[in-house]
Amino acid sequence: MVEILYFAWLRDRLGRSRETFVLPRDGGLSVRDIMDGLRRRGAAYEEIFAEGGGPIRCAVNQEFAALDSPVRAGDELAFFPPVTGG
Amino acid sequence: MLVDIRVQEETFSLDAEIARLAATGFDVGGIGAFIGLVRGDAGLAALALEHYPGMTESMIARIVAQAGTRFDLLACTVIHRVGRLPVGAPIVLVLCAAAHRGAALEATGFVIDWLKTQAPFWKREDYPDGQARWVAARESDEAAAARWDAGDPSEA
Protein backbone atom coordinates (compact mmCIF):
# COMPACT_ATOMS: atom_id res chain seq x y z
CA MET A 1 0.00 0.00 0.00
CA VAL A 2 1.16 3.52 -0.81
CA GLU A 3 0.14 6.64 1.10
CA ILE A 4 -0.73 9.44 -1.32
CA LEU A 5 -0.71 13.11 -0.27
CA TYR A 6 -2.12 16.11 -2.13
CA PHE A 7 -1.25 19.76 -1.62
CA ALA A 8 -2.53 23.20 -2.68
CA TRP A 9 -4.99 23.25 -5.60
CA LEU A 10 -4.78 19.50 -6.12
CA ARG A 11 -6.15 18.96 -2.62
CA ASP A 12 -8.85 21.61 -3.13
CA ARG A 13 -9.91 20.08 -6.44
CA LEU A 14 -9.98 16.50 -5.13
CA GLY A 15 -11.50 17.43 -1.77
CA ARG A 16 -8.99 15.35 0.16
CA SER A 17 -5.45 15.67 1.46
CA ARG A 18 -4.53 11.98 1.58
CA GLU A 19 -5.63 8.52 0.57
CA THR A 20 -4.15 5.11 -0.04
CA PHE A 21 -3.34 3.19 -3.18
CA VAL A 22 -3.03 -0.57 -3.19
CA LEU A 23 -0.19 -1.85 -5.34
CA PRO A 24 -0.62 -5.01 -7.38
CA ARG A 25 0.83 -8.09 -5.73
CA ASP A 26 3.70 -8.31 -8.19
CA GLY A 27 4.68 -4.71 -7.30
CA GLY A 28 6.87 -2.67 -9.60
CA LEU A 29 4.91 0.47 -10.43
CA SER A 30 6.15 3.89 -11.42
CA VAL A 31 4.66 7.25 -10.44
CA ARG A 32 3.15 7.38 -13.93
CA ASP A 33 1.46 3.99 -13.45
CA ILE A 34 -0.11 5.22 -10.22
CA MET A 35 -1.31 8.40 -11.92
CA ASP A 36 -2.96 6.20 -14.56
CA GLY A 37 -4.64 4.21 -11.79
CA LEU A 38 -5.82 7.33 -9.95
CA ARG A 39 -7.34 8.69 -13.13
CA ARG A 40 -9.99 5.97 -12.87
CA ARG A 41 -11.19 7.31 -9.51
CA GLY A 42 -13.36 10.08 -10.91
CA ALA A 43 -13.72 13.14 -13.10
CA ALA A 44 -11.59 15.42 -10.89
CA TYR A 45 -8.74 12.89 -10.97
CA GLU A 46 -9.05 12.49 -14.68
CA GLU A 47 -8.78 16.23 -15.14
CA ILE A 48 -5.80 16.64 -12.84
CA PHE A 49 -3.80 13.65 -14.01
CA ALA A 50 -4.59 13.98 -17.72
CA GLU A 51 -1.64 14.60 -20.04
CA GLY A 52 -1.25 18.37 -20.09
CA GLY A 53 -3.80 18.75 -17.26
CA GLY A 54 -1.56 21.26 -15.56
CA PRO A 55 1.93 21.37 -14.15
CA ILE A 56 2.20 18.77 -11.39
CA ARG A 57 5.27 17.82 -9.40
CA CYS A 58 5.70 14.75 -7.24
CA ALA A 59 7.84 13.47 -4.41
CA VAL A 60 8.50 9.91 -3.26
CA ASN A 61 9.36 9.67 0.44
CA GLN A 62 9.77 13.45 0.55
CA GLU A 63 12.33 13.59 -2.29
CA PHE A 64 11.42 15.21 -5.61
CA ALA A 65 10.74 12.41 -8.07
CA ALA A 66 10.16 11.93 -11.80
CA LEU A 67 7.24 10.24 -13.54
CA ASP A 68 9.29 7.12 -14.11
CA SER A 69 10.50 6.92 -10.49
CA PRO A 70 9.65 3.57 -8.88
CA VAL A 71 7.11 3.39 -6.07
CA ARG A 72 7.18 0.55 -3.58
CA ALA A 73 4.91 -0.69 -0.78
CA GLY A 74 5.12 1.60 2.25
CA ASP A 75 6.26 4.62 0.24
CA GLU A 76 4.78 8.08 0.67
CA LEU A 77 3.90 9.64 -2.69
CA ALA A 78 2.96 13.33 -2.83
CA PHE A 79 1.46 15.29 -5.74
CA PHE A 80 1.57 19.08 -5.77
CA PRO A 81 1.94 22.12 -8.04
CA PRO A 82 5.35 23.72 -8.67
CA VAL A 83 6.44 25.32 -5.40
CA THR A 84 5.86 29.03 -4.70
CA GLY A 85 7.44 29.78 -1.32
CA GLY A 86 9.90 32.46 -0.26
CA MET B 1 28.30 25.93 11.02
CA LEU B 2 25.40 26.74 13.30
CA VAL B 3 22.11 26.03 11.51
CA ASP B 4 18.67 27.09 12.69
CA ILE B 5 15.66 26.25 10.48
CA ARG B 6 12.12 27.01 11.58
CA VAL B 7 8.71 26.77 9.89
CA GLN B 8 6.17 28.58 12.04
CA GLU B 9 2.97 30.61 12.08
CA GLU B 10 4.33 33.29 14.42
CA THR B 11 6.24 36.29 13.17
CA PHE B 12 9.95 36.75 13.86
CA SER B 13 12.16 39.48 15.27
CA LEU B 14 15.10 40.53 13.10
CA ASP B 15 16.85 42.07 16.11
CA ALA B 16 16.52 38.93 18.19
CA GLU B 17 17.73 36.67 15.37
CA ILE B 18 20.74 38.86 14.59
CA ALA B 19 21.62 39.03 18.27
CA ARG B 20 21.54 35.22 18.43
CA LEU B 21 23.99 34.94 15.51
CA ALA B 22 26.27 37.65 16.90
CA ALA B 23 26.43 35.82 20.22
CA THR B 24 27.53 32.47 18.75
CA GLY B 25 31.14 33.04 19.73
CA PHE B 26 32.29 32.50 16.13
CA ASP B 27 34.36 35.21 14.49
CA VAL B 28 31.41 36.68 12.60
CA GLY B 29 32.40 39.69 10.51
CA GLY B 30 29.13 40.18 8.68
CA ILE B 31 25.58 38.93 8.42
CA GLY B 32 23.64 38.95 5.13
CA ALA B 33 19.88 39.29 5.57
CA PHE B 34 16.87 38.80 3.33
CA ILE B 35 13.31 39.41 4.51
CA GLY B 36 10.42 38.55 2.20
CA LEU B 37 7.12 40.43 2.71
CA VAL B 38 3.56 39.88 1.47
CA ARG B 39 3.31 42.22 -1.54
CA GLY B 40 -0.07 43.94 -1.92
CA ASP B 41 -0.61 43.11 -5.61
CA ALA B 42 -3.94 44.12 -7.15
CA GLY B 43 -6.08 44.52 -4.07
CA LEU B 44 -4.79 41.39 -2.35
CA ALA B 45 -6.04 40.99 1.24
CA ALA B 46 -3.76 38.20 2.45
CA LEU B 47 -1.62 35.25 1.42
CA ALA B 48 -2.28 31.78 2.81
CA LEU B 49 0.88 29.67 2.91
CA GLU B 50 0.98 25.92 3.26
CA HIS B 51 3.85 23.46 3.14
CA TYR B 52 4.80 19.79 3.19
CA PRO B 53 5.89 19.16 6.78
CA GLY B 54 9.08 17.14 6.94
CA MET B 55 10.09 17.60 3.32
CA THR B 56 10.20 21.37 3.80
CA GLU B 57 12.67 21.20 6.64
CA SER B 58 14.87 18.62 4.92
CA MET B 59 15.01 20.59 1.66
CA ILE B 60 15.92 23.82 3.47
CA ALA B 61 18.56 21.95 5.48
CA ARG B 62 20.08 20.66 2.25
CA ILE B 63 20.16 24.14 0.69
CA VAL B 64 21.73 25.62 3.82
CA ALA B 65 24.33 22.84 4.01
CA GLN B 66 25.32 23.51 0.44
CA ALA B 67 25.55 27.27 1.07
CA GLY B 68 27.64 26.60 4.16
CA THR B 69 30.23 24.64 2.22
CA ARG B 70 30.27 26.86 -0.84
CA PHE B 71 30.54 30.18 1.03
CA ASP B 72 32.29 29.04 4.20
CA LEU B 73 29.45 30.19 6.43
CA LEU B 74 29.71 30.33 10.20
CA ALA B 75 25.97 30.32 10.84
CA CYS B 76 22.68 30.39 8.97
CA THR B 77 19.13 31.01 10.14
CA VAL B 78 16.07 30.40 7.95
CA ILE B 79 12.59 31.13 9.29
CA HIS B 80 9.62 30.61 6.97
CA ARG B 81 6.10 31.44 8.07
CA VAL B 82 2.95 29.51 7.13
CA GLY B 83 -0.73 30.23 7.63
CA ARG B 84 -2.66 33.36 6.67
CA LEU B 85 -0.48 36.45 6.38
CA PRO B 86 -1.84 39.96 5.67
CA VAL B 87 -0.31 42.35 3.14
CA GLY B 88 2.94 43.78 4.48
CA ALA B 89 3.59 40.88 6.85
CA PRO B 90 7.02 39.26 6.84
CA ILE B 91 7.01 35.77 5.27
CA VAL B 92 10.60 34.60 5.27
CA LEU B 93 13.90 35.47 6.92
CA VAL B 94 17.31 34.32 5.73
CA LEU B 95 20.40 35.27 7.72
CA CYS B 96 23.88 34.15 6.67
CA ALA B 97 26.84 34.87 8.92
CA ALA B 98 30.41 34.73 7.62
CA ALA B 99 33.81 36.20 8.32
CA HIS B 100 33.44 38.70 5.45
CA ARG B 101 30.63 40.51 3.65
CA GLY B 102 31.07 38.94 0.20
CA ALA B 103 30.36 35.44 1.40
CA ALA B 104 27.52 36.58 3.68
CA LEU B 105 25.73 38.46 0.91
CA GLU B 106 26.24 35.82 -1.76
CA ALA B 107 25.13 33.01 0.52
CA THR B 108 21.96 34.91 1.37
CA GLY B 109 21.08 35.16 -2.32
CA PHE B 110 21.92 31.50 -2.89
CA VAL B 111 19.68 30.33 -0.03
CA ILE B 112 16.64 32.41 -0.94
CA ASP B 113 16.93 31.64 -4.67
CA TRP B 114 17.04 27.89 -4.06
CA LEU B 115 14.40 28.03 -1.35
CA LYS B 116 11.98 29.56 -3.83
CA THR B 117 12.35 26.69 -6.28
CA GLN B 118 13.12 23.70 -4.01
CA ALA B 119 11.26 24.09 -0.72
CA PRO B 120 7.69 22.76 -0.85
CA PHE B 121 5.64 25.82 0.07
CA TRP B 122 2.55 27.02 -1.79
CA LYS B 123 0.92 30.45 -1.71
CA ARG B 124 -2.76 31.18 -2.16
CA GLU B 125 -3.90 34.75 -2.76
CA ASP B 126 -7.03 35.75 -0.84
CA TYR B 127 -9.00 38.79 -2.01
CA PRO B 128 -11.42 40.97 -0.01
CA ASP B 129 -14.42 39.69 -2.02
CA GLY B 130 -13.75 36.12 -0.91
CA GLN B 131 -12.05 35.02 -4.14
CA ALA B 132 -8.93 32.90 -3.78
CA ARG B 133 -6.28 31.95 -6.32
CA TRP B 134 -3.26 29.66 -6.04
CA VAL B 135 -0.08 31.43 -7.15
CA ALA B 136 1.61 29.96 -10.23
CA ALA B 137 5.35 29.33 -10.19
CA ARG B 138 7.43 31.83 -12.15
CA GLU B 139 10.13 30.97 -14.66
CA SER B 140 12.17 33.92 -13.43
CA ASP B 141 12.55 32.13 -10.08
CA GLU B 142 13.97 29.06 -11.84
CA ALA B 143 16.36 31.33 -13.72
CA ALA B 144 17.45 33.04 -10.51
CA ALA B 145 18.32 29.70 -8.95
CA ALA B 146 20.01 28.42 -12.10
CA ARG B 147 22.53 31.27 -12.09
CA TRP B 148 24.21 29.57 -9.09
CA ASP B 149 25.65 27.22 -11.72
CA ALA B 150 27.27 24.59 -9.58
CA GLY B 151 24.65 23.36 -7.40
CA ASP B 152 21.14 22.14 -7.45
CA PRO B 153 20.69 21.11 -3.80
CA SER B 154 18.10 18.51 -4.75
CA GLU B 155 20.84 16.64 -6.58
CA ALA B 156 23.26 16.81 -3.67
Query: What is this model's ipTM?
Result: 0.93
Q: Which CATH number do you get for residue B49? A: 3.90.1170.40
Q: Is A20 on the interface with B (CB under 8 A)?
A: no
Contact A65, A30 (CB under 8 A): no
Task: Tell me which residue range forms the domain holding B130.
Answer: 2-148
Out of A5, A84, A86, closest to residue B92 by CB: A86
Number of domains in chain B: 1
The pLDDT value recorded for residue A33 is: 93
Contact B49, B122 (CB under 8 A): yes
Q: How far is B155 from chain A (nearest CA, A)?
A: 10
Q: Is A66 on the interface with B (CB under 8 A)?
A: no
Q: Kindly state whether residue B156 falls inside one of the protein's structural domains.
A: no
Q: Is A54 on the interface with B (CB under 8 A)?
A: no
Count Cβ–Cβ pairs < 8 Å, chain A vs chain B. Answer: 71
pLDDT of B152 above 80: no
> pLDDT-derived band of residue B147, with 50, 70 and 90 as boundaries?
confident
Out of B121, B134, B136, closest to residue A85 by CB: B121
Q: Kindly state whether residue B119 falls inside one of the protein's structural domains.
A: yes
pTM of the shown model: 0.92
Poorest-pLDDT segment among A26-30, B49-53, B122-126, B141-145: A26-30
pLDDT of A26 above 80: no
Q: Kindly state whether residue B153 falls inside one of the protein's structural domains.
A: no
Q: Kindly state whether residue B115 falls inside one of the protein's structural domains.
A: yes
Q: What is the pLDDT of residues B61-114, one digit of tens each?
A: 999 999 999 999 999 999 999 999 999 999 999 999 999 999 999 999 999 999
Determine the Cα–Cα distance for residues A67 and A32; give it in Å rounded to an integer. Answer: 5
pLDDT of B156 above 70: no
Contacts of B134 in chain A (CB under 8 A): 8-9, 12, 81, 84
Q: Closest-CA residue in chain A for B53?
A: A62
CA nearest neighbour of A86 among B146, B137, B76, B147: B137
Residue A30 backbone phi and psi in degrees, to 5:
-105, 170
pLDDT of B150 above 80: no
Topology of the domain comprising A2-80: Ubiquitin-like (UB roll) (3.10.20)
Q: Kindly state whether residue B85 falls inside one of the protein's structural domains.
A: yes
Q: Is B77 on the interface with A (CB under 8 A)?
A: no
Q: Kindly state whether residue B155 falls inside one of the protein's structural domains.
A: no
Q: Closest-CA residue in chain B for A61?
A: B55
Q: What is the pLDDT of residues A31-86, one digit of tens each?
A: 999 999 999 999 999 999 987 667 899 999 999 999 999 999 999 999 999 999 99
The pLDDT value recorded for residue B73 is: 97
Determine the Cα–Cα distance for residues A62 and B56; give it in Å rounded to an integer. Answer: 9
The pLDDT value recorded for residue A52 is: 65
